[in-house]
Structure 1
Amino acid sequence: MSKPLIGVFALQGNVREHLAMLEQVGVQAQPVRRPSELEQVDALVLPGGESTTMEKLARTFELFEPLQKRIVDGMPVFGTCAGMILLANEITGGIAGQATLGGLDVTVRRNAFGRQVDSFEVDLAFEAFETPYHGVFIRAPWVERVGPDVEVLSTVSSGPATGRIVAVRHDQLLATSFHPEMTGDARLHGYFAELVRGL
């Protein structure tokens, strides 16, 4: 797949920023708001936002079940912040009845790093990258449990959250606690694009 078409869930979140990053790494990108648009894409980005609102909007626009089916069928998905929560098989700290799309064998704690005022930035080490990646954390989750087939890509290495897991991969699913679209650093979008091209 030389130039895949990657969609960005466009009902909430930093849609424009993700689209720009994907185009920067040489893939076609388009917003996805309805099932017919989801059918066209080879892969999808679930951006940050508010996970419960994103779930409700996905149901309202009849995207929730089609998204679940595409994930089960092997579509690559990159979830960032709220997108990580939506991909998780299990969440803690959610609201009563909160559902996820699932597929990613992890337990994620919602709003683990605190409220908006507790937002922070930190450099993160990734084995795939020669230099650190600057992570922007805004009401971010963290991963509390990973399944046996889940690869931990990055953990926080300083401060009170040292050791917390903030980036994971499980087969064709990639997720980060932070907002890579806000850094100007397209390496993670490039990593995801290579994952998609390799399938």
Structure 2
Amino acid sequence: MTTLRSESLDAGPAQAGPRVGVLALQGDFREHARVLASLGATVSLVRRPAELDEVDGLVIPGGESSVMDKLARAYGLQHPLRDAIAAGLPVYGTCAGLIMLADTLRDAIAGQESLGGLDVVVRRNAFGSQNQSFETDLEVPALGDAPVHAVFIRGPVVESVGPDATPLASLADGRVVAVEQGNLLGTSFHPEITGEHRFHEYFLGKVRARAGRTAA
């Protein structure tokens, strides 16, 4: 198995923003890291349990959820991630990250597990193959009046939302594609690749709020 190296992607020595990790086992973690750094966060790539202990929030990127699951277990991260989520760590999952955060999965491969935390049922690859990717504008009242331009690449869909979770955005046909629950946030789409930073800003608000409570 290839050895993974830790990297720090903070914005420089004067940086004083929240400490946010990006799970860097597989997927488009560098795109998230760039967005977070541009918004003032001190960003690190998380591949080991000790690195998870050093952050105030975590992003789980898009990619292949079944591969992320296998690598999380192989590198001893699955249980520390579950414990951190249960303890209230703010976590934002996009696409595969949403799958990883769902309590219940549909169309998972044999043996695939999620981390859980979001009281939702998520169907993997709900929009078909990669050549069926699409873009659309979404109304997201929590982020203001301007619509969010969203890119879906083999994205999952939230098939049902439990009483503990709250839908944030839906397609025109009513299918839920963004959801939150306390410190957890999940989207079926990829704001990190469109220049749309409002979901990351919304997530950083959760990180700062929890960091402030912890410090107090």
TM-score, scaled to structure 2 = 0.88
State the structure with more CA Rg: 2
Shift of 1:72: 0.8
Aligned residues: 194
Partner Cα distance (1:187, 1:83) in 2:
17
1:22-33 matched pairs, under 5 angstroms: 22-33=36-47
1:135 paired residue number: 150
Task: Name stretches of at least 5 consecutive residues in structure 2 with no aligned partner.
Answer: 1-15, 211-216
Question: How far 1:149 moved relative to its partner?
Answer: 2.1
Cα offset, 1:183, TM superposition: 0.6
Check if 1:39 corresponds to 2:53. Answer: yes
2:160 is matched with which residue? 145
1:196 aligns with 2:207: yes
Q: Which residue of 2 aligns with 1:103?
A: 117
- The separation in 2 between residues aligned to 1:33 and 1:175, in whole angstroms, is 20
CA distance in 1, matches of 2:192, 2:205: 17
Give the SS at the match of 2:70. Answer: helix
Q: Contact 1:24 / 1:186 at 8 angstroms: preserved in 2? A: no
What is the SS of the residue equivalent to 1:198?
Answer: helix
Write the distance in 1 (CA, Å) between the matches of 2:183 and 2:194. 23
Structure 2 distance, partners of 1:81, 1:21, is 16
1:56, CA displacement in angstroms?
0.5
Question: Residue 51 of structure 1 contacts residue 86 of structure 1 at CA under 8 Å; is this kept in 2?
Answer: yes
Structure 1 unpaired stretches of 5+: none
Deviation per CA, 1:97-135, whole angstroms, max 9, x where unpaired? 211000110000000011111100001111022211111
> For the residues of structure 1 that align with 2:146 and 2:40, how far apart are their CA atoms?
22
Letter paired with 2:154: R
Q: How far apart, in 2, do the equivalents of 1:77 and 1:24 lie?
A: 18
The answer to whether the 8 Å contact 1:84/1:176 transfers is yes
Take 2:176 and 2:196, find their aligned partners in 1: how far apart are those partners? Answer: 20
CA shift, 1:197, in A, is 1.0
Relative contact order, higher structure (CA 8 A, sep 6+): 1
Q: For 1:33 and 1:145, locate their aligned partners in 2 and report how far apart those are by CA, in whole Å.
A: 31
Structure 2 Cα separation of the partners of residues 175 and 33 of structure 1: 20
Point out 4+ residue stretches in structure 1 off by more than 4 angstroms: none
3-state secondary structure, aligned to 1:135: strand
In structure 2, C-alpha distance between the alignment counterparts of 1:195 and 1:71, rounded to whole Å? 13
Give the structure 2 partner of residue 169 of structure 1. 180
Paired residue type of 1:189: H
Deviation at 1:26, TM superposition (A): 1.6
Partner Cα separation in structure 1 for residue 191 and residue 42 of structure 2: 18
Q: Corresponding residue for 1:62? A: 76
Structure 1 equivalent of residue 4 of structure 2: none
Identity of aligned residues (%): 55
1:178 lines up with 2:189 in the alignment: yes
Q: Note if 1:119 corresponds to 2:115.
A: no
Cα drift, residue 15 of structure 1: 1.2
Residue 36 of structure 1, CA deviation: 1.1
1:83 aligns with 2:94: no
Q: CA RMSD in A?
A: 1.0
Shift of 1:28: 1.1
Which range moves more in the overlay, 122-131 or 84-93?
122-131
Match of 2:108 in 1: 94
Residue 51 (1) aligns with residue 65 (2):
yes
